[in-house]
Amino acid sequence: MALVINEGASSSSFTHQPEKFDVFLSFRGEDTRYGFISHLYEALRKRGIHTFIDDKLPRGAKISTQLFKTIEKSTMSIIIFSENYATSTWCLDELAKIVECKKNSELMIPVFYKVNPSEIRKQNGKFGDALAEHEKNMDNKKVQRWRNALQEVANISGRHYNNSCNEFDFIQRIVEDISKLKLNRPSLFVAQYPSLFVAQYLVGIDNRIKTILSDIESNDAHMIVIYGLGGIGKTTITKEIFNRICSRFEGFCYLENVREKSGTNDGVIKLQEELLFVILGDKNLKVGNKSRGINMIKERLSVMRILLVLDDVDKRVQIENLLGGCDWFASRSKIIITTRDKHLEATLGKCFSTHEVKELNQGEALELFSRHAFQSKEPKEDYSELANQVIQYAQGLPLALVVMGANLSGRTKLEWKSAIDKYERIPNKEIQNVLKISYDGLDENEQDIFLDVACFFKGFLMKYVMDILDSCDLYPSYGIVKLIDKCLITVDQYGKLSMHNLLQQMGKDIVRQESPKLGERSRLWCYEDVLDVLTKNTGSEKVRGIMICAPEPSKIQLESKCLEKMENLKFLMASNVDTCGDLKYLPNGLRVLDWPGFPSSSLPSNFHPPILVVLNMPESHLILPKLLERTQCKSLTYMNLQSSQCIRELPDLSISTPNIKQLNFCKCINLVKVHDSVGCLEKLESLDLTGCIGLKILPSCITMKSLKILILYKCKRVKRFPNISQEMENLKFLSLACTAIRELPSSFRNLSGLERLDIGSYSSTCHLPSSIYELPHLHKLFIYGSVQFPKDVQIGIQALCNSYGGFSKYGFLKLNFLKKLTSCFHLSKNWLLSRRKTSNLKDNIMRFNGLRYLLIEDSKFLKEIPELPESIRSVHASNCISLNSQSIRNLFDQFGRILDFPPNMICSREKGNILANSHSHQIDYSSKHSFSKFILIEKELRPTPEMYLFDFGVRYSITVPERNIPEWFNHQSIESSILFRIGPKFPTFAFCIAFHLVPLKDSYANKCGSLRDDRISWFCAVDISINGQAQSFMQHPLFHFQYLKCDHLWFYAVPHSQLQQKFGDLLQGDQNRVEISCKISHWTSEFGKFAPVIAGMGAHVKCICPPQNSIIIHNNSQNVDDNSENIEFAPLLHPATTSDGSHMNHGLTGISSEIDSLSECGWKFKRGFTFDETWQMISAYVDWDAYTKFQSAKDIQETILSSKYSIRDQYSKMDETSKNMHLSQERNQCGVVYDMHRNTVVKEMDLDQMSATSNLEVMTRTSFMVTQVER
């Protein structure tokens, strides 16, 4: 009988079992099933012979019609005659059907397994006995049919096995027979495939292949697409995966350079033959043509569980030429495709998954580069700065890191500097040739888009760039998407275009190669090059765009018609440039005229640009009516004349600029009137009149159906808001704050799409209409100063409660209106309380039973935050200096209950410790005025997508004026990091950061203020490291902390399910090492002379930290690498003081940093630095006037530093065992010395001198750390 094992079955739509089989096996199960038959079946499968062997068909007295159909569709049959074959009526029915179907005896192969063929032909012995027994119970005609079939098959020459030969060899001969019988099926074997060479050094690869391997584990046939930028490591990843898993498959093949080899018909055929040979092993197999090759591949590989890698594919046809359709693979087969084109995935059907390969992070990039440049994991110390320059240049691209590392290996520092300068000017050809492959695959329009973005528009909003390029007939709606799919450009979360620096450099180099003459290149962006072309008037019609950005404001002498030869100029962008005379010519084909501070009051009289899209001339002297009276700019979409003091009226724009989308007249202080026609511009989306302090007259009526943003903030003379004559459902944001508007029109209800309203003034009261309750989408109401709600709030209750719950979705309200509104705002989720003389929330807050966010700022009289509704997620109470400590503790406890944190949980590493270490849950900040590690401003940063909070979904946060981290945080540190261990899954955990405010020296504050707009803004970045793999956890903008007047705590918690989803892939086994670290950086703000510093951290987590029984000095040992060669030094600042000279209520001093001119990179406390040298280093930045006890601290510090060197000399002579013993003893001794010195000095000081103790303690601890590090 047949044994049915349907290996090809799959639940996936991607795979279906072929209906036709090469071989049908007929055998007696009890004789051969678990030995001979199973070996034969596997041997046939491995040769690509599709064999039917199924044990899942229902058994009964009669053979099923399903089995008969399988026999009919099988090409040939193997009948294994064994001792008891004839006793089975099932087997005899199979045999009769086989004989009936096979006219040609060559399609039946008998195998005589331990039986004599003559016994079957003569039908005697056991075969005769079995047939005789059947005749007693069965119809004689049926038995005779069986006899005839037995005799016919027994007369065919077959294979005879009688224990006289090796069974394995016997099976191989049967397989050879089958192979020869089937057309064009020569002898087959599974090739021995050598391991692929992946790379000399593999860095960061495990995490990248982990998610891919999870797809490999699935039971269905599956296609996996791995895409990314050229040189990003796709091939390296797939080779590593191939080497790891190929042994699990019956056949496997890795085809490289598919794109390149598929360029010709012969190339496709060679790929087909290579695929068949590698898996099946036939060197002489020839497919003839593509179509026949596709059929042979499907026919021979569909029965095998295969692993196939197609490396570097860029078109679907390349896959089809090899595989045909993608629906024939056997169960558990895997096809991996690497490509630079993300869009390829959309052409492959349903059963596939995609994985993008990202750039290496900073640590991985440095390690990979160091492996090739220094043959070590880290760069040499004196090469660190140069190595970091290369890392910044390569931006995590493995190809660039490998190439540059190899090129720089063994070179001197001078050669390094020269090479890096060259790289930044002239890209490396080896790198560029790889990157340029994607560019070469674009059509002409797409190449133009790529070069325009590379040279001019990187960092601009995609929508803005598309409007510009659309006017150039480049079809950007398709072209930009194509570039994104090709991984040549990306779009960040804010909709801005970006690209890898090396791709941008490649694009610029392509333009440079256009001509050795500057004036004959299509695009000019280098200041010196543009200046050369303009001053010498050497431009030509080939110039498409010019960007001239002077490094500092400067005047240049230009010919009045220096642009006259550039008749095809489309983009003119200038910055910091003033001309000595007026320009007499501008090309009429301009699409972008971007020139802040344009020196002339008018544009050339012959300038009539019909296709101008962007007019960006802030701080210019243009007189707008004069410009628009003679210039019809029908295509003008963006107009920005911000801070232009010559503009007094916004004229009729309906005729001259009917397609305008954005108008920005912010800070045009002499603007008095906006023409009525502006209120009817149908395509206008944004109108910004911020700070137009002279503005009095607005359009009497507005009907702008496309308007999304209208800002009148600080238009102090505007008294009347226009009537809204028809519904404006697209207006989302309206700012009327700090205007003279006292009343809104009843037609305000027509702003049906309004989501945010800023309103109110500190000089007068604005009366809101009852129609405000009818706005269904308004969920943010920011109130400035005094606002009067309608007296009869019942007017709005029906609309509020029945339509959307009114402001129940999000309502930001001031406290003094709360009592009269609780009846209708009973479901409010957001609430803003701002600068109110409020001491009690208790009577009102619980009425908001859906409250999620509570924001309170500068409420000096608020003493208590009561129990909040269970819906609460975030409480921000900054500068509420009267808030009592018990209320804050209660608030933290409530969040602990909401998060279901177990009380009194103690880290296991604490048990048995005599001194509280860096994770102590009992650190008392009120008595310990010491901070050995703080983070100060690192450098000026520009905001990037990574700088903002990761959207965990549900999250919990608290910001309150407090210095003490609650005791229930079972891990605490006076450093800027926390270390603990967790099990195989993430628990819910929370962390808390203590911030302190410290003053900056005037010189540094001035320097920071000069960075941009005299403002310094601060960010707290939190990173998580899991088993050594660093990830950005979140970066919280401290925009609420701009005017802090005291210490603050910031609490943040995320449920375990969201942590598992975000970081679960990094967990390994039952024990996982987790480190949370934070740092403060900045880019702009309003802090003036004060800065926040991190004074400590706490974490509450269910950990599995191992017990620690030794006495450990505070916070040092576990954060110091004994092999490190340097340690950060922690300079201190004097206590923060207010403008009147009084001390601020933070009580603590201390700040530390990786400081290099306080804006570039880190100061390191190098080995061998004396105290005086270190002191001199930091004195340039730190004001020490407040430290009256400095000399005592210095004396103690020098004593410990001097003993350090003798200890080090003794230590170097010890063996390893003695070193470890001595190290433990030294730690204990240092702890005693540390406490002794601290207590001595503290006794000599009064409370006003406590800041000196902080200085002393940090220096003492620093000495101890340096001693340990240098060992």
Active site residue ranges = 94
Tokens of 485: 């799919």
Nearest residue to 1241 (alpha-carbon basis) of 1186, 1188, 1201: 1188
Q: How far is CA 632 from the centre of its chain?
A: 45
Biggest CA–CA distance in the chain, Å, is 122
Between CA 476 and CA 1062 the distance in angstroms is 34
- Which of helix, strand or coil describes residue 1215? coil
Q: Which residues contact 440 (CB under 8 A, 6 or more apart)?
A: none
Between CA 790 and CA 782 the distance in angstroms is 17
Between CA 760 and CA 748 the distance in angstroms is 16
On whether the CB atoms of residues 1003 and 1047 are closer than 8 A, the answer is: no
CA torsion, ordered 588, 593, 599, 601, to nearest 10 deg: 60
Backbone angles phi, psi at 368, to 5 degrees: -60, -45
| Inter-CA distances, 199 with 203, 239, 252, 368, 826, Å | 10, 9, 21, 11, 64
DSSP 282: -
On whether the CB atoms of residues 1080 and 1158 are closer than 8 A, the answer is: no
Q: 227: which strand partners?
A: 339, 356
Number of Cα atoms under 13 Å in the Cβ half of residue 168: 0
Residue 1223's region, left for phi above 0, alpha for psi from -120 to 50, else beta, is alpha
- Which of helix, strand or coil describes residue 711? strand
On whether the CB atoms of residues 1205 and 1182 are closer than 8 A, the answer is: no
Tokens of 743: 């009343």
On whether the CB atoms of residues 834 and 813 are closer than 8 A, the answer is: no
Between CA 254 and CA 241 the distance in angstroms is 11
Cβ count within 10 A of residue 264: 9
Degrees to nearest 5, angle at CA 513 with 509 and 515 = 135
Q: 556: which strand partners?
A: 579
Between CA 1147 and CA 1137 the distance in angstroms is 11
Cβ count within 10 A of residue 276: 23
On whether the CB atoms of residues 771 and 796 are closer than 8 A, the answer is: no
Q: Which residue has the tokens 């008392």?
A: 924
Exposed e or buried b per residue across 717-738, where buried means at least 16 C-beta atoms within 10 angstroms of its C-beta? ebebbbbbeeebebbbebbbbb
Residues comprising the chain, all counted:
1271
Tokens of 229: 């930028």
- Which of helix, strand or coil describes residue 67? helix
Between CA 696 and CA 715 the distance in angstroms is 8
Q: What sign does the dihedral 136-141-144-150 (CA atoms) show?
A: negative
CA-based end-to-end distance of the chain: 77
Q: Which residue has the tokens 């549900």?
A: 954
| Inter-CA distances, 836 with 817, 826, 844, 858, 1047, Å | 11, 21, 15, 7, 20
Residue type for position 457 = F
Degrees to nearest 5, angle at CA 1022 with 1016 and 1028 = 140
